[in-house]
Every structure is written in structure tokens, then in C-alpha cells.
Structure 1
Amino acid sequence: MTMLNIRYEKTTAPKELPKEDNPLKFGTIFTDHMFIMNYETGKGWHDARIVPYAPLSLDPSAMVFHYGQEMFEGLKAYKTEDGRTLLFRPNKNIERANNTNRRICIPEIPEEDFLDAIKAVVKTDEAWIPTKPGTSLYIRPFVIATDPFLGVRPSDTYMFIIILSPVGAYYPEGLNPVKIWIEDEYVRAVKGGVGEAKTGANYVASLAAQVKAHDDGYSQVLWLDGVERKYIEEVGAMNIFFKINGTVVTPKLNGSILPGVTRNSVIELCKTWGVPVEERKISVDELYEASNNGSLEEVFGTGTAAVISPVGHLRFEDHVMQVSDGGIGELSQRIYDTITGIQLGDIEDTFNWTVEVK
């Protein structure tokens, strides 16, 4: 039973489910239903409902269009071999969503209501969860400011929406190592800004550098800090890890780096396995030196969409650094196998990371 008193309006024209033998391109197919809840100052969050997936009707002056007051999250649902539906660490996403809400002056959503909303819409479209290896149901909760007003202030009205998308691998390369461009011209975020919030401003700021990297044959951009322009921050839509001389190193959260759920999971796994792990500043010079002396053993990105994305080459200015032999590292593979095994219910969840949708 949900605490939300959700109103249901089921579709009368269900779409055809994707065929399992067709590759699922990430973020292009959407399920039959979506969750919506409204907010109004003085009234709070209200009118929770699950309705047919359809275009939204918004005033052209809605504040989200003009001032970018919006939050979004991303998590996944998985179908186990015995038919259960599992969410992976949804409470961490909800916690991060409310941290973002506070940062950009959106009213917080009660955690229990947030989780109930996710479970309810996933349960409604449970038939859409793909079961082919490497696939899952991507869950996209987001909040938009809807006041029809031109003026810089927090909105008085909002919509909280959850949409669902059956997905395959985020990167067409799959678990094959990708090439990463270390950006030295543009800046993604600075401490004191919104770098640690999951809001569209961080992503639109990254587009110019991504286009430049893609044009040169690189999959993603690795960002440097916005002040000294020498310390590694994060890569594209992911956090980044380096295994240097047996120790796993990842940039310390500093106010401009997104606190990734997969990032946190990787750190916990390494500590459990006895693998040395450090959260600290790491400079591009240190990386270059480690590459030259052979101690740069593995590099991988982490995120909800890709889980683990091994990196085979790093480019900074005119220098191209090959990571080890350019293949998938042993630790990267172990982390990927363990996290996906827990997500799919194939490995015992000793961390209590999964939540079943019933």
C-alpha cells in the first residue's frame, strides 16, 4: 500500500513492447505511463497520479524555460531470474534529489512519498522491464518550475514527474574501453556553484566540449577544476577512478563534483575487498607521470547509466596516454560484475542495496 493516495488513469491505447531481439538505444523509448504530482505554495505537494505518457502543456512563460529551475535524477529497475523487480539504492538517489532541491530552491519531496511514487509507476509498467543481458528500465524523476512569470525568483508552483525508459548499454562500446579527452579550455563547474547538484545547467555547460571531443574521436570529456585548471574532477556524466600502483584514487567531493551513487558503491566495495582507496585531489600532472612510469594500471568512469565504463586512452593537450594495455582492467571487470550481479539478484546483496518493488 502506498502512503501517497495515488490516483490512477490507465492508458486505453497501450504501445507495443520492444522486441527483445532488437537493440535498445538508450533513452529513446518510453513506457505507457508516467507519475505526476503538483506543488503549490501554501498547499504543498498534492494530486499524486499515474497517467498515460503524453506531452505536457505548459505556459510559454513557465519559469523552467527562462531560469532553468529544474532537478532531475536517474536510477534503474531490474528483473531477476526468479521474476522479482529490484531497484538499486533508490534512497541514495532520493537523498541526492532533495539535496539538489535545496540548492536550487525547489521544495523537498518527502522521502517515503518519493520512493512510493517510484515503486508505483514501475509496478504499473513492470511489463516494460527488459530481461536481455545488459538491459534495464531507466527511471527518470524530475521537477520543473511552472509559474507563468518572467522574473528571477523561486517559483511558487512545480511539477514532479517520473518517466520510464527500457534501455540497453549507455555507450555503444559496451564494456570496451573508451577514449577520454581531458578538457583544458572550458569549465564545467566551480565550488560554490551547482556542480554537486543534478540540474540541467551542469550538462548544457558541457556540450561544447563534448562536441569538440566527439569530433576528434573521443567518447567523453574529463573535466579539470575551474580555478587552478589542473586537478581532475569528473568525466562527462560520470565520476572517475584511477588505479595507480595498486591504490584506487578518485577525486574528493569538493562542492563541484556530483556525489554519484555508483561512485559510493565502488568505494564501499573496494574497502570491503581490502583494496586501498583514496578520495583526494589528483592532478593531470600526476596522471601523466603515472602513465609514463607504468603505474597507471586502470581508469574507469562510474555512473547509473553505464555502471562502469573502462577508459583505454586519455588525451591532454597533445599527449595521448594509454592505460596499461588499453584493455579492461581486472578490478574494473570485478566491480562491474559485482554491481550488476547485485542489481540483477544473481549475487547476494550483503550491503542491503536493493529494494524490491511489490
Structure 2
Amino acid sequence: MAQVKALRTSQHGATTRAGQRAQSTAARRAVADTRRAAKADRQSTNAAGKGRAAQTLAKGLERVTQARAGLRDKTRAARDRKAGQSVAAQRSAVRKGPARRQARRAMARSAARLQGRRLLAAALTAPLGVLGAVTTPLGRQLGWRWLLYPGRRLFRRIVANALRDKAARDVEIRAQQEAEEAAADAAAQLDPNAVGDQVERPEQQIPVSTPKHIVPEGVHVSGFNFEQFAAEMESSASSYEPDGCMEILAMVDQLPEALTAVANTLRILAERSDTEFPLEKEVAAGFGDIFQALMTAATAAEELPRVFRTAHEQDIARHEDPRNGPEAEKGWNV
């Protein structure tokens, strides 16, 4: 089971997700083509043992099969192109995501600013609206248009200016968004470390599996062997014979610190895998996930000392505060 697990792990990490999809598609199509070819061979073999009419019909069916195969190849090529375009569009959306989020936030702020100016205009023109109740009838009698609805006209002018300013801000926000998206596309094309369609990979990827606990010849193993340290800890736990339960309590008190040290080991590996080691980003993310899980375990281990002391409160009291000394306390032979 360990060897099967190691083989699956090596096969999973030997190629990218895009490579895995391409290999799965190619394998599925190869199986279908093999099944069709076997069926055509059976038909040809059966027709060869019959008369000339059957052979002529078999040749016609063979031409039809070839035509269908050509049409199938064209359909597959079109489907692959469509899938490639979809993947490229999704990658472009991921690259342009920060710029689009920033633009949406800026547009929201611009709209909020417009609403604020509307509220301010309403507050400023409210007194003029009350005054207009008196000046509007007078303006109608005198024929003076400037006395008609002073508050409404001022409100419309302020709102019109606010709308014009918002339109100008929106134009600037969209222009900045387009510039940032273009810069992201240019950086993706110029960055040699970016993982994309232009990364050169071997045409045929053959995963090589190494049995567990076996190091290939010619491979130098450095001083850091995490598996050896973990095996030593497992062996020590199996043969552990404490002198007393207070020793177990001391071990439980130190358990969160020990788990934190193990988690920091995974954190260091994640940081170095992301910055120093020639590994894909998925590997560094995997180390980071393990680090988070171990930190969760370390946080949970902080509760164990309290549970231990609560459950064995009387037993611990006999050791920490014995009555008339430790020898006298032994009189209660329980």
C-alpha cells in the first residue's frame, strides 16, 4: 500500500493539471479509436471470406470510415482550440482581477460621492425651496422668471455639475483599469517565471516512482531527513515508559511547543520552496496547507494540559502538596 501511494503521489506531481487533462483526453480518445479500429478490422475480415459484393461493400464502408475519422479529427481540433481559448480567457481574467476589483471599488466610491453631493445639495437648497413658495407666485404676477422655483433650479444645477464630475471620474477610472490590464498582460508575456502556455515542457512525461525507504544510486541525501526524525519519535513513543504520571504531565505541557516547532519546519519548507527551490507553486502551497493544519493541532494541544490538570486534580495535589511529606502520603495505598 505504501508503494502504491508513493506511485500515485509521484504520478500526481509529475505533470501539471493542464498536462493531466491533455493526457486524460488523449487516453480517452485513443481507447475510442482503438475500439473503432477493431470493429472495422472485424468487418473487413468477415467481408474477406465472402463474395465480391461483400468486399465491394466493405471498401465503401472503409471510405466512409476514413471520411468520418477525418471529420472527427477536425471536430477534436476545434474542441481543443475552444478549450485553449477558454483557458486563456480564464488566465486573463485572473491576471486582470486585481485591476478590475480596484476599478469596481473606485466606481463605488464615485457613486457614493455623487449621492453625497445630492444630499448636500438637498440640504442647501431646502431653505430656497421654502422661500420659493413665496417668490414663485410673485414672479408669475410680475413675469420675472428668476423668481420662479429658486430652490429647484439651484438643486438641478448642483446635481448636473455632480453628474458631470462623476462621468469624468468614471472615464479616468476606466482608462486606469485598461492601462493596468495591459501592464498585467505585458508582464505575463515578459516574465520568464510565469507559468503559462509558453512554458517549455517535455512532449512525453514519464513519471518515475521510487519505492519508499529506498534512495536511488547517485542521489546525495543532505543532513535533513524529516522521515528519519519522525520514525525516531514514533519508536520512542512505542517504547516510552515514564517514571511517573507527573513526567507525563510535563510532556503534555511541552506538547504545544513541540507541535509548533514541527509546524515551523513546514513553514520554512514552504517559504524556501516558493523562493529558493526549483519547485512549482502548488508544492509550496501544499507545504503551507500542512503548516496551517499543524498550527491548528498545536492550538488544540494547548487545551490538553488544562484537561489533564482538571481530570487529575487530586492526584496532582498529592504530588505537589503531600500531607506530612511524600513518605507519609504513601500510606494511602490505592
Q: TM-score, normalised by structure 1?
A: 0.16
Bigger Cα Rg? 2
Question: Highest relative contact order (Cα 8 Å, sep 6+), 1 or 2?
Answer: 1
Choose between structure 1 and 2: higher helix proportion: 2
Q: TM-score, normalised by structure 2?
A: 0.16
